[in-house]
Amino acid sequence: MREILHIQAGQCGNQIGAQFWEVVCKEHGIDTTGQYIGDSPMQLERSDVYFNEVSGGRYVPRAVMIDLEPGTMDALKSSSYGHIFRPDNFVFAQNGAGNNWAKGHYTEGAELIDPVLDVVRKEAENSDSLQGFQICHSLGGGTGSGMGTLLISKIKEEYPDRMLMTFSVFPSPKVSDTVVEPYNATLSVHQLVENADECMVLDNEALYDICFRTLKLSNPRWLTMSSTFIGNSTAIQEMFRRVSEQFTVMFRRKAFLHWYTGEGMDEMEFTEAESNMNDLVSEYQQYQEAGVEYEEEYEEEDA
């Protein structure tokens, strides 16, 4: 068996995660109570990658749900597939991180990290041959972003030989008007580059444009945006560049920095995150240029 342990953190992570589980359950023929009601034995093949089979033939998602406020969890629990999850795997606090990465990573989130790791450890120990972890979160807020990346670093430390993959939603001012999102996203990228093996990037600006231009939805809702996906190429540097420019405009004036230093963060961490993001952009730029050169050479040889 090659189990995957799924973690969803913060509002966005939990909303995307809820969609994910609904689709996975339907693919495997599992109903809202965890019973198999499908019509083909193939549906149960490899069901152990994402589900634990418990007594009574029930299938329970190998999922851990986290938030620093109870609202998103309550919504998930009362949704149609809400009862399928293991109740002990909901770990939450009361106050939220208020779009502050420092609160998620260093203060509020750090206080909740041990109970989260206990649940993660329990699921990992319950597995036969865990292949790795997948984490759903946004990078623009405080919880999924700050606490999500704290959790990623702790998991990397405790399970260095397991794969760690993230589904990370990048912020766009077209979708959200919280000004500090570029700070939160840049501080997160700094962490992801260090600790994640693979990141599936979901860009809210691209999702919004797809919904608006292609699907002609004038006011895209989360649900439609969460079910829209994009591919990966060196064009991704445009997105990193966009976030990095938004970061620099604010950081140059030290705007809103006191929100972060007030939680004990050092300005140095911002400077490092900024240069790390710029390195990432240059790296993709290099690959892009290398690709063009190769094609030109190829054409010359051909001629």
Binding interface with ligand GTP (CB under 6 A)? 10-12, 15-16, 68, 96-99, 138, 140-145, 169, 171, 175-176, 181, 204, 207, 222, 225-226
Q: Which does 181 bind (CB under 5 to 8 A by kind): Mg ion, ligand GTP, none?
A: ligand GTP
Orientation of helix 267-302 relative to helix 236-252, angle to 10°: 150
Q: Which does 142 bind (CB under 5 to 8 A by kind): Mg ion, ligand GTP, none?
A: ligand GTP
**Is there a contact between 142 and 104 (Cβ–Cβ < 8 Å)?**
yes
Give 36 or 222: the residue with its C-beta nearer to ligand GTP. Answer: 222
Question: Of all residues in this chain, which one has the CB nearest to Mg ion in the complex?
Answer: 11
Could you tell me the smallest distance in angstroms from the CB atom of residue 181 to ligand GTP? 5
CB under 8 Å to 77, separation ≥6 — which residues? 83, 85, 90
CB under 8 Å to 118, separation ≥6 — which residues? none
- Token pair 């770990």 in the structure block, residue: 91
Measured CA to CA in angstroms, residue 105 lies from 102, 183, 187, 208, 224 at distances of 5, 13, 10, 28, 29
Could you tell me the smallest distance in angstroms from the CB atom of residue 46 to ligand GTP? 28
Give 17 or 29: the residue with its C-beta nearer to ligand GTP. Answer: 17
Q: Which does 204 bind (CB under 5 to 8 A by kind): Mg ion, ligand GTP, none?
A: ligand GTP
Q: Is 213 exposed, middle or buried (0-12, 13-18, 19+ CB in 10 A)?
A: exposed
**Is there a contact between 139 and 145 (Cβ–Cβ < 8 Å)?**
yes
**Is there a contact between 112 and 68 (Cβ–Cβ < 8 Å)?**
yes
The β-bridge partners of 63 are: 6
Give 99 or 191: the residue with its C-beta nearer to Mg ion. Answer: 99
Q: CB atoms < 10 A from the CB of 233, how many?
A: 11
Could you tell me the smallest distance in angstroms from the CB atom of residue 65 to ligand GTP? 12
Could you tell me the smallest distance in angstroms from the CB atom of residue 289 to ligand GTP? 31
Q: CB atoms < 10 A from the CB of 65, how many?
A: 26
Give 11 or 184: the residue with its C-beta nearer to Mg ion. Answer: 11
Give 131 or 176: the residue with its C-beta nearer to ligand GTP. Answer: 176
Could you tell me the smallest distance in angstroms from the CB atom of residue 149 to ligand GTP? 11
Residues that bind Mg ion (CB under 5 A): 11
Q: Which does 99 bind (CB under 5 to 8 A by kind): ligand GTP, Mg ion, none?
A: ligand GTP
Measured CA to CA in angstroms, residue 78 lies from 12, 64, 85 at distances of 17, 16, 11
Could you tell me the smallest distance in angstroms from the CB atom of residue 173 to ligand GTP? 9
Enter the tokens of residue 284.
């993709």
Give 34 or 220: the residue with its C-beta nearer to ligand GTP. Answer: 220
Could you tell me the smallest distance in angstroms from the CB atom of residue 204 to ligand GTP? 5
